[in-house]
A and B are shown apart, each in its own frame.
Chain A
Amino acid sequence: MDTAELEAKVIEFIASKVENIDTSTITTASKFEELGLDSMDTVQLLFDAEDAFGVTFDGEEVKNLRSVGDIITYISEHPPEGKG
């Protein structure tokens, strides 16, 4: 998966998870809090993203993931096993 494709897929995934937001405004720069997600919503989002993208977010590093772009970077730096 190239970067543009991954970006599109992550944005599409996040658009399916947020509520009461114009999903067309979501960009890689969007911070979770700007998307109406509180800290518990974000933890749930990341949990769902693990299954959707076949990654496992490190328990400590998860605290540094604050934006759509952070997820994309993390996934590209930690490709799913056997698919890298």
Chain B
Amino acid sequence: MRIVVTGMGIVSPIGASVDQFWKNAVAGVSGIGGIQSFDTTKQRSKIAGEVTGFDPTAFLSTKQIEQTDRFTQLALHAAQQALEDAQGLEGYQPRRLAVCLGSGMGGFSTFEFSATRRLQNKSVPPFSVPRIMANSAAAWIATRYGLKGPNLTCSTACSSAANAIGMALDLLRTGKADAVVTGGAEACVLPLTMTGFEALFALSTGFNADPAHASRPFAKGRDGFVMGEGAGILVLETEEAALKRGAKIYARLAGYGCACDATHIVAPDVDGQVAAMQASLDDAGMTSGQVDYINAHATSTPIGDVIETKAIKQLFGERAPEIPISATKSMIGHSIGASAAIGSIAAIMTLQTGTIHPTINLLEADPECDLNYTPNSAVEKKVQTALCNAFGFGGNNVSIVFTTL
């Protein structure tokens, strides 16, 4: 059974539509700036990839806004785009329509807000729990569109959306659903969350005065990831049903693989990453020789980008330097549980357009990062098989394979 992508939606720091996002990604536009949403005086990392100008009142009622966290609002906006794009899902039985989303943190802006009030002995908003819970976004998408089949949420930190997309693939292959709204959403440009990542020395702190150059995967002088936010949503269904209903088909979701390092709660590991990439190719029934583009996890941390480079070399061997790689996070920062959905959309647009977006801020590469990362300028190349990587705290490694039809 072949599974295809028939709808896409995105909210990101460089665009709140697939067209706008892709145009900016190809042009290498940075969406990183000084944080606007809270006072950063006490933060060491004062920059982020924020979704600015996002207005939930444009598509949600006052009551819906009161009952939803920002991550859910971002997910709802991306889902609206994806479902309008896919069109015609009403032809399926509602019980056969599933939602399978990823989020690393869930409704953490509500958590931070409500916790602050509680510590000040003030009342806590009545919708605190349903706003905070990680499955809130999936539940709201189902409620809004009457999607009455399985409703799942996967939380595997930075790989959440990749696992969610893989679980969606499995729901379709095992016949548990006819179409799945999948992807991820995250909104944790927040003081406590960022302080937590600062405490791990995971965030960039040396570019507060030069935000556009802070997210620099594979580059010399990189000093951590830049927090981001956003949502990416895909609509998946079987190729047979999509063709039958005359749907526009973007790409085939051919394979999904995941593996746990089982070594360290935050440190990355070459073997686990290789295992996930290999598993995704095995699942797709493909070989490493067929991969002609990699959308890397590449968060811009000193260690992470080196480990991913080593893993790619280990799996692809002497072909590794020939395969174009790019890092979407160089432009939008790291949107945690949404990042793999956004990376997937970038990979699918690469298959669609024959353009590989650049890794920006790569004027001088780290000597230990010596592959072809598509530095600074987009490249035209016909791509038939794209691999999208996502690696998360907890030792989670996930890869997904998209192909042309």
Asked if A56 and B126 sit within 8 Å, CB to CB, the answer is no
Q: Decide yes or no whether B143 CB sits under 8 A from chain A.
A: no
Asked if B125 and A44 sit within 8 Å, CB to CB, the answer is yes
Asked if B126 and A47 sit within 8 Å, CB to CB, the answer is yes
Q: Decide yes or no whether B127 CB sits under 8 A from chain A.
A: yes
Residues of A contacting B57 with CB < 8 Å?
Answer: none
Asked if A19 and B61 sit within 8 Å, CB to CB, the answer is yes
On chain A, the number of residues with a Cβ less than 8 Å from chain B's Cβ atoms is 10
Residues of B contacting A40 with CB < 8 Å?
Answer: 126-127
Which 10 residue pairs across A and B have the least CB separation, nearest first?
Answer: A43-B126, A44-B126, A50-B123, A47-B126, A47-B125, A44-B66, A47-B123, A56-B123, A19-B61, A19-B63
Q: Decide yes or no whether A13 CB sits under 8 A from chain B.
A: no
Q: Decide yes or no whether A57 CB sits under 8 A from chain B.
A: yes
Per-position 1/0 for B109-133, Cβ under 8 A of A: 0000000000000110111000000
Q: Bin the interface of chain B by size.
A: 10 to 19
Q: Decide yes or no whether A17 CB sits under 8 A from chain B.
A: yes
Q: Decide yes or no whether A41 CB sits under 8 A from chain B.
A: yes
B124 to A, closest residue via Cβ: A47
With both chains docked as a complex, state the minimum distance between the C-beta of B47 and any C-beta of chain A, in angstroms: 31
A-B residue pairs in contact (CB < 8 Å), sample of 16: A17-B62, A19-B62, A19-B63, A40-B126, A40-B127, A41-B63, A44-B63, A44-B66, A44-B125, A44-B127, A47-B123, A50-B122, A50-B123, A56-B122, A56-B123, A57-B123
- Measured between alpha carbons, how far is A75 from B125 in the docked complex, in Å? 19
Residues of B contacting A57 with CB < 8 Å?
Answer: 123
With both chains docked as a complex, state the minimum distance between the C-beta of A6 and any C-beta of chain B, in angstroms: 20
A-contacting residues, B26-82, CB 8 Å: 61-63, 66-67
- Measured between alpha carbons, how far is A47 from B125 in the docked complex, in Å? 6
- Measured between alpha carbons, how far is A43 from B122 in the docked complex, in Å? 15
Further 16 A-B residue pairs, CB within 8 A, beyond A19-B63, A57-B123:
A17-B62, A19-B61, A19-B62, A40-B126, A40-B127, A41-B63, A43-B126, A44-B63, A44-B67, A44-B125, A44-B126, A47-B123, A47-B125, A50-B123, A56-B122, A56-B123
Residues of A contacting B127 with CB < 8 Å?
Answer: 40, 44
